[in-house]
Amino acid sequence: MEADVEEYENWRNNIPDEKCTLCDGAGELNGKCVVCSGRGAFSKRDKPPSVRESDEPLLSMLEEIGAFSDDAQTLTCRVCDGTGTLVQVKCHGCDGKGERETIEAAYPMHVEVIKEFTEFCKNSGGFSIF
């Protein structure tokens, strides 16, 4: 059993990291404004692109605090001051590295755990899968 665990751990420790899907490998969260989706402004008759129907309370709150200017034709996003971008921040999904551990690599194997599970199975009285 120890040899199998060692072989598994060698395999697991050599799995290459994968590109972070949160920042698309950039290491930083996209600088695109989350309120205006990077457009800086939007038509008064349209909702901000990033706001869904379920986010109506968010839109109301943003309008209440004056997040959008009152322009005759458009609402200028005051969150990004109309630039469409925000200050870059380090991605929390990969800690700024652009890559992160795969799901397979996240599960180590230990001899003690296997022995405990074996004892549990022996003493459980069995089980059925329906």
* Per-domain boundaries in the chain: 1-16+102-123
Tokens found for residue 48: 């901000």
Which residue in this structure is represented by tokens 């700024």?
A: 96
What are the start-end ranges of the H helices in the chain? 2-13, 56-64, 111-123
What is the pLDDT, as a whole number, of residue 72? Answer: 46
Looking at every residue in the chain, the average pLDDT score rounds to: 79
pLDDT per residue as tens digits for the range 50-82: 555 555 666 666 666 655 555 445 677 777 888
Angle (CA) 82-88-93 rounded to 5° is: 130
What is the pLDDT, as a whole number, of residue 21? Answer: 85
DSSP state of 68: B
Give all strands (DSSP E) within the chain, no chain letters: 18-19, 28-29, 41-43, 74-76, 89-90, 99-100
Are the C-beta atoms of residues 32 and 85 closer than 8 Å to each other?
Answer: yes
Name every residue whose Cβ is closer than 8 Å to that of residue 83 and which is 6 or more positions away in sequence: 33, 40
d(CA 45, CA 74): 9
What percentage of the chain has pLDDT greater than the value 70?
72
What is the pLDDT, as a whole number, of residue 48? Answer: 54
Residue with the bigger pLDDT between 31 and 12: it is 12
